[in-house]
């Protein structure tokens, strides 16, 4: 399958760290058993792509909704990678049955030092590539804004991680609009170069190839024409960089 990434700005895609032995992608998504078919299809495609590329997938690990589709597709295409489910004790009963003890990371909702916040931190710390975000409820949206903020402020390792949002059926258009509004209101384009939005989930395959520096069919490397132009512009403006209006 030919993937055309020329419409996607990949100038700010952070490339693979050569010292990383096993690539890990953390996937944020909804858990609801009532999920549109188009979203479930996108979730399954993400699981398939990560499995085919031997990338370990870290997620909530639930056996329902989008998470179930992720894990089922991953397991069906599994090579050398694995799935790690990170949850809290109240939700442990919903973990996918295919997850063995070594693939389960459960935080107690009753222990102040190992709680829901620790669960989120673990989901973030596992990742090497960064995050793939699929449609979901308030928990998913909160996770997206949290990693966006960390990337924007370069907090911890947050500035070194990619954020790819799968905008199925325009689900995340309000988020795109909000980022555009912030950029316009505060005169800062830097708000807009932290997240890669894709409308077609298949584009994730090509983005990961660029990240991993895998040549496309025919020997040439996949690239983004828009991204190349943006890189030149970024270089020219480097001396004009200023502190952003947070």
Residue 11 included in any domain:
no
Query: What pLDDT digit, counting tens, does each position of 198-234 carry?
Result: 999 999 999 999 999 887 655 555 555 444 444 444 4
**Any domain includes 124:** yes
Domain that residue 179 falls in: 24-235
Confidence (pLDDT) at 2: 64
- Concatenating the DSSP letter of every residue in 113-146 gives TBSHHHHHHHHHHH-SSEEEE-S-SHHHHHHHHH
Residue 14 within any structural domain of the chain: no
Q: What is the pLDDT of residue 240?
A: 39
In a domain, 1, yes or no: no
Residue 231: CB atoms within 10 Å:
15
The continuous run of DSSP H or E covering 88 comes out as strand 83-88
Residue 231 maps to a domain: yes
Among candidate residues 63, 53, 56, the one with its CA nearest the CA of residue 91: 63
| Residue whose entry in the numeric block shows the structure tokens 């895609």 | 13
Q: Give me the CATH number covering residue 199.
A: 3.40.50.450
What are the pLDDT digits (tens) for 156-178? 788 899 999 999 999 999 999 99
Q: Is residue 67 part of a domain?
A: yes
Judged against a pLDDT cut of 70, whether residue 142 lies above it is answered with yes
Q: What is the pLDDT of residue 235?
A: 45
Per the structure, the count of domains in the chain is: 1
The pLDDT-based confidence of 138 (bands split at 50, 70, 90) is very high
- pLDDT (average), residues 87-97: 88
Distance of alpha carbon 97 from its chain centroid, rounded?
A: 24
pLDDT at position 113 over 60? no
Rounded-to-integer distance, Cα 135 and Cα 65, Å = 11
In a domain, 18, yes or no: no
3-class DSSP state for residue 105? strand
- Per the domain annotation, does 9 fall within a domain? no
pLDDT of 154 higher than 60 = yes
């Amino acid at each position: 399958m030919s993937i055309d990434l020329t419409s996607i700005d990949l100038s700010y895609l952070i490339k693979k760290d050569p010292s990383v032995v096993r690539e890990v992608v953390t996937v944020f998504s909804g858990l609801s058993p009532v999920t549109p078919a188009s979203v479930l299809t996108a979730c399954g495609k993400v699981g398939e792509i990560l499995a085919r590329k031997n990338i370990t997938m870290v997620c909530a690990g639930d056996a329902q909704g989008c998470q179930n589709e992720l894990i089922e597709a991953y397991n069906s295409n599994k090579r050398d990678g694995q799935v790690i489910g990170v949850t809290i004790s109240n939700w442990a009963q919903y973990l996918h049955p295919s997850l063995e003890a070594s693939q389960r990371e459960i935080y107690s909702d009753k222990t102040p030092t190992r709680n829901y916040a620790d669960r989120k931190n673990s989901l973030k710390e596992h990742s090497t590539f960064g995050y793939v975000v699929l449609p979901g409820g308030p928990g998913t949206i909160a996770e997206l804004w949290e990693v966006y903020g960390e990337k924007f402020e370069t907090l911890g390792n947050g500035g070194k991680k990619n954020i790819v949002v799968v905008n199925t059926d325009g689900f995340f258009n309000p988020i795109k609009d909000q980022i555009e509004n912030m950029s316009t209101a505060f005169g800062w384009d830097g708000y807009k170069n932290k997240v890669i939005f894709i409308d077609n989930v298949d584009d994730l395959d090509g983005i990961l190839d660029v990240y991993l520096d895998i040549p496309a069919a025919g020997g040439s490397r996949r690239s983004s024409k828009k991204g190349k132009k943006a890189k030149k512009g970024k270089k020219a403006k480097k001396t004009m960089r200023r502190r952003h209006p947070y």
